[in-house]
Amino acid sequence: MSLMRPILNAYLRLTEKPYLARVARPISLRQSFEAKARLFFHPPLGTRFRQGEIAGVPVTSVRAPWVAEADGPLILYFHGGGYVFGSPRTHRAMLAWLSRAAQAPACLPDYAKAPEHAFPAAVEDALAIYRAVMDRPGGVVLGGDSAGGGLALALLGEICRLNLPRPLGCFGLSPLTDLGHGGESLMRNAQAEVLLPAARAAELAEMYLQGADPDDPRASPLRAGFDGAGPVWLTAGDTEILLDDTRRMTSHLRDQGIEVTEVIERDLPHVWPIFHNTLPEARETLTAIAAWISSLSPVTDDS
């Protein structure tokens, strides 16, 4: 482990975790995250960002230097933030580094957020965008972190349910896969977790669900079917409150015959790859994801 790991963990525990525990207004969470992203997260020089719309949903296209629009698969990435905050602006620098490592373009949807837009609005946005890009000649790879990782997996479940053309694969960084919060790590790791306050998990989930069933597979992909899905790559830290969301998701997918790469890291914070500018482990994980993306087989006509 790097020297930066304990420094970053201490910083998050002393500053970000108390902030997330006390601030209730979604607008404050959104503004704070975006301000910190501008300050701390920087893309490779020469990265190209373009704002647009796909299927009526605002998106940010990301291409690292020397990456053409037609290169490789499209990385369709859903940002985290509890379905309440976060945006393409908070995550685009991380995707720029992944675009460079994978030599592939990325697309970050600004999907509908709660509480203004309750479940299943985010899933509907994700599905509409996927329908618009699913026939890309180079294929599509789904990805996301935290709630966005859950959204990517929920989208994969919907793709399988509707028998749409499958993406090449799907990856999740510390994904939120169970909005019923049935994992034991939620309480077991409540003190060890350096970023997310466990006491607010149910509150944020209800802000999104607004009375909907947390066991709906579109909300909790841990309940979804994945017949015919391609490979899945999941990672989490062993001190995260969402650790069991990854472990149980891995078991659920493997029970259905899906090829899963599960990487559990020691004492790294929630969604650590976003700290790519300062944390060596973040860059190592992005490099590993890029190598995995490069290993995926193209979609065949009968897949």
Look up tokens 């959204």; give the residue: 151
Is 79 designated active site? Answer: no
* Percent helix, strand and coil across the chain, each to the nearest 5: 45, 15, 40
16 DSSP assignment = I
Q: Which of 158, 193, 240, 265 is catalytic?
A: 240
Based on the number of CB atoms within 10 Å of its own CB, is 206 exposed (0-12), middle (13-18) or buried (19 or more)?
middle
CA distance 167 to 144: 14
CA distance 46 to 43: 8
Q: Which of 91, 181, 252, 270 is catalytic?
A: 270
- What one-letter code names the amino acid at 174? S
Structure tokens belonging to residue 40 = 């701390």
CA distance 3 to 282: 13
Taking each helix axis as running N to C, give the angle between helix 121-133 and helix 147-161, from 0 to 180 degrees, rounded to the nearest 10.
60
CA distance 218 to 223: 8
Is 69 designated active site? Answer: no
Is 146 designated active site? Answer: yes
Residue 297: count of CB within 10 angstroms of its CB: 11
At 196 the three-state DSSP class reads: coil
Structure tokens belonging to residue 110 = 């600004």
Active site residues: 146, 240, 270
